[in-house]
């Protein structure tokens, strides 16, 4: 059994796709944070309050990363709906 599509392109590696994220996805992610916890030493309540103006930098960094192929480990822990 091969890796990377040697079996007709049906392996998990050959079908892995990362799509750009939108403002709505990042805002929804920030808004869904549990206010009883914190992320990166920042209270989630603060992130939720400022979700709308905060969405652009992480989305731009993530989208640039997937279009250029430069991996940023921080974003591999994000789970977008």
How do residues 42-69 score in pLDDT, each as one tens digit? 888 888 888 888 888 888 988 888 888 7
For the question of whether the overall pTM of this predicted structure is more than 0.85, the answer is no
Residue 9, token pair as written in the block: 């392109």
Output the CA–CA distances (angstroms, integers) from residue 54 to 23, 34, 58, in the order listed.
Answer: 10, 17, 8
């Amino acid at each position: 059994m091969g890796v990377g599509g040697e079996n007709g392109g049906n392996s998990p590696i050959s079908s892995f796709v990362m799509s750009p994220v939108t403002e709505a996805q990042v805002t929804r992610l920030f808004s869904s944070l549990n206010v009883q916890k914190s992320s990166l030493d920042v209270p989630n309540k603060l992130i939720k309050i400022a979700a709308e103006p905060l969405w652009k930098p992480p989305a731009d960094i993530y989208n640039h990363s997937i279009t250029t192929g430069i991996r940023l480990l921080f974003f591999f822990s994000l789970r977008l709906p």
